[in-house]
């Protein structure tokens, strides 16, 4: 009875999506388990500092080595997998006067209209609709920082181009927006 409970509830701490069955052996075909293992020198690829490849292929990962507790290992693996989950396109959004920043996933929006609605909801402010002729008719204007580091008014370029160039958003008070 205990065995069944054990297996059902035996889950190591791990972030969602990270499997931690036997992290130490997942990259090796057969975890070396013979008694003679200790006498054979581990296949150690030369720890060349110039070698920037993340996992030297020649090195076998040994069960339970180095002796780092599962919890700590999971934290590290969690951190590593974060940048790899490239499904979202998160950029930071700040709003003048708000105590903290937010993050939005631009991929969720199909165009500027939806983005504005989303920002409005997020900051409960009237961001206003944009028209090329008149600029923003509200207290606030959304701006974004592009890949060159310049601050631009949101809405000038086609949405797709905006998606590829926007690195962060800032909702400025309209009076602060400098008309060029």
Partner 1 sequence: MDPAAAGVEFIGTGADPTRSSTLPEEFLKRTFSLISSEKDRSSVSLVCKDWYNAERLSRRHVTIRNCYSVSPEMVAARFPAIRSVTLKGKPRFSDFNLVPDGWGADVQSWLNVFATAYPFLEELRLKRMAVTDESLEFIALNFDGFKALSLLSCDGFSTLGLEAIATHCKNLTELDIQENGIDDLGGDWLSYFPENLTSLEVLNFSTLTSEVSFDDLESLVSRCKSLRVLKVNQKINLHQLQKLLVLAPQLTELGTGTFMEELVSGSVNDLENTFSKCGNMHTLSGFWDATLLHLPVIYPVCGNLTFLNLSYANIGDVELEQILSRSKQLIRLWVVDTVGDKGLEAVGSHCQLLEELRVFPVDPFDQQIGVTESGLLAVSIGCPKLHYILYFCQRMTNAAVITVAQNCPDFTHFRLCIMSPHEPDYLTNEPMDEAFGAIVKTCTNLRRLSVSGLLTDLAFEYVGKYAKNLETLSVAFAGTSDMGMEYVMRGCPKLKRVEIRDCPFGDSALLSGLTQYESMRSLWMSDCNLTMNGCKKLAEEMGRLNVEVIKDKDDDVSLASKVYVYRTVAGPRKDAPHFVVTL
Classify 79 as helix, strand or coil.
helix
Give the total of residues touching partner 1 (CB under 8 A): 56
CB 148, min distance to partner 1, A: 22
The closest alpha carbon to 167, from 104, 68, 92, belongs to 92
44 binds partner 1 (CB under 8 A): yes
- Binding residue for partner 1, selected from 2, 132, 160, 179, defined by CB under 8 A: 2
User: What's the closest the beta carbon of residue 93 comes to partner 1, in angstroms?
Assistant: 11
Given a contact cutoff of 8 angstroms between Cβ atoms, the answer to whether 135 and 141 are in contact is yes
54 binds partner 1 (CB under 8 A): yes
Nearer to partner 1 (CB atom), residue 5 or residue 180: 5
Among 7, 84, 134, 148, binds partner 1 (CB under 8 A): 7
Out of 19, 51, 121, 137, point to the residue binding partner 1 (CB under 8 A).
Answer: 51
Burial environment of residue 95 by CB neighbours within 10 A (0 to 12, 13 to 18, 19 or more): buried
DSSP code per residue over 10-65? ------TT---SSTTTTTSSS----GGGGGSPP------TT---SS-TTPPPPTT-
Give 178's Cβ-side CA count (13 Å radius). 3
Per CB under 8 A, residues contacting partner 1 are 2-3, 5-7, 9-15, 22, 24, 33-39, 41-42, 44-45, 47-49, 51, 54-56, 59, 61-73, 75-76, 79-80, 92, 94, 98-101
């Amino acid at each position: 009875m205990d065995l069944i409970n054990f297996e059902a509830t035996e889950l190591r701490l791990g972030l969602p999506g990270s499997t931690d069955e036997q992290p130490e052996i997942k990259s090796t075909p057969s975890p070396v388990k013979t008694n003679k293992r200790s006498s054979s020198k581990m296949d150690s690829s030369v720890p060349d500092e110039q070698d920037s490849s993340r996992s030297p292929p020649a090195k076998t990962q040994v069960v339970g080595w180095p002796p780092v507790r599962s919890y700590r290992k999971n934290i590290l693996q969690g951190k590593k997998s974060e940048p790899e989950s490239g499904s979202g396109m998160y950029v930071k959004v700040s709003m003048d006067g708000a105590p903290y920043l937010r993050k939005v996933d631009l991929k969720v929006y199909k165009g500027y209209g939806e983005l504005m609605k989303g920002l409005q909801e997020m900051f409960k402010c009237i961001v206003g609709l944009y028209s090329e002729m008149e600029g923003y008719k509200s207290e606030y204007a959304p701006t974004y920082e592009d890949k060159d580091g310049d601050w631009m008014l949101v809405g000038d370029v086609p949405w797709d181009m905006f998606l590829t160039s926007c690195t962060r958003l800032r909702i400025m008070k309209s009076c602060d927006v400098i008309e060029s």
